[in-house]
Amino acid sequence: MSDMLRSAVGLAGLSLLSDAQTRSICAENPQGDKGAAATAENHLGVGWKGRPCITLPKDETVELAAIARPGVVQHIWITVTDRGPRGRTVLRDLVLRLYWDGEEQPSVEVPVGDFFANGHAMRCDINSLPVAVNPNGGMNCYWPMPFSDSARITVTNEHGDEIHGFFYQITYALTDVPEAAARFHVQWRRENTVTYHKEYTILDGVEGRGHYVGTYLAWTQLSTGWWGEGEVKFYLDGDGEHPTICGTGTEDYVGGAWCFADRTYSTAFLGYPLRHAEPGQIIRHGLYRWHVPDPIRFRQDLRVTIQDLGFTPQPTGYEPLTDDISSVAYWYQAEPHAAFPALPPARARWPR
């Protein structure tokens, strides 16, 4: 394993010297060039916070990073308002896309908020290893993202108006990348009324070799009672009607138990950080499971589902529901990757 990848998975490699070169892209150094940061000027002179952020034009795509050498993205930090002229939809209206090694279709395509486990276009603190969201809306990602010759990162503003004060910093290492290093992928999906008695699809159509590393669920409960009995299933390498891996319930999958007792939590790899309930309103839930110590390996193909299943007292017991579910799937795989489903337009991504 290279020094670059060893340092990404823990503390053991931090003491090892490396030929890697650290670079960082932000509004103060848009190209990440050596000796080119902090050159903008304001009333205090050059280098005194002359350009800390950018404005995202209406209906345009802005290139945040274009790297033309092999390396690995190590940290992405973003903060932006969650409310704009059209209301509290900004975190769903901004779309993040990442491209590796000159590919035409992105390997990462996801609303900005959901990428950082902030679904429902709502801010929520996250205290986990690969993702951390801190007061007030400082969104951090530490998933290692290697590339062999180039990387491109963009954000598209579909809010319908300019978004001012978009702050970002992308830190990466210029270094050789092992041939065995898979590429990072993220895909967003939503079914805003889940089909009754049919499993919700978190991920499908993945072809090739890789490993699944994370799930985030933004779950809008549209019925009373307990909603989280659904089993998560992993269909691996030609599985047909039945999966190879099956969980025991939604709260169990994210490391909780017994309906969470309406308590939230956020840990290194498992969390139920959001339960948003106001009188007379629907209940919104946010859940994550990072398969960092326990990645789900596949060699040929992968499909991931979850059941929208509740429980009511006898005589009915378990009962399929029709909630509003959004999901983010995180995985690594060898390229090329299969085409993603078309990302729904902004209005179809808005929270209820």
* Domain 183-339 belongs in CATH node 3.30.1650.10: no
Domain boundaries, the chain: 3-174, 183-339
Q: CA 114 to CA 128: how far, in whole Å?
A: 15
Q: CA 39 to CA 49: how far, in whole Å?
A: 9
pLDDT for the residue 313: 81
Q: Which residue has 């180039």 as its token pair?
A: 150
Q: CA 234 to CA 242: how far, in whole Å?
A: 9
Cβ-contact 151, 175 below 8 angstroms: no
pLDDT for the residue 236: 98
Q: CA 58 to CA 163: how far, in whole Å?
A: 7
pLDDT for the residue 4: 55
Q: What is the pLDDT along the chain (352 residues), one digit of tens a residue?
A: 455 555 555 677 788 899 999 999 999 999 999 999 999 999 999 999 999 999 999 999 999 999 999 999 999 999 999 999 889 999 999 999 999 999 999 999 999 999 999 999 999 999 999 999 999 999 999 999 999 999 999 999 999 999 999 999 999 999 999 999 999 999 999 999 999 999 999 999 999 999 999 999 999 999 989 999 999 999 999 999 999 999 999 999 999 999 999 899 999 999 999 999 988 889 999 999 999 999 999 999 999 999 999 998 877 799 999 999 999 999 999 999 999 999 999 999 999 9
pLDDT for the residue 5: 57
Q: Which residues contact 147 (CB under 8 A, 6 or more apart)?
A: 67, 70, 71, 72, 73, 100, 101, 177, 183
CATH topology of domain 3-174: Jelly Rolls (2.60.120)
Domains 3-174 and 183-339 fall in the same CATH topology: yes
Burial 299-320 (b: 16+ CB within 10 A, else e): eebbbbbbbbbbbeeeeeeeeb
pLDDT for the residue 31: 96
pLDDT for the residue 8: 58
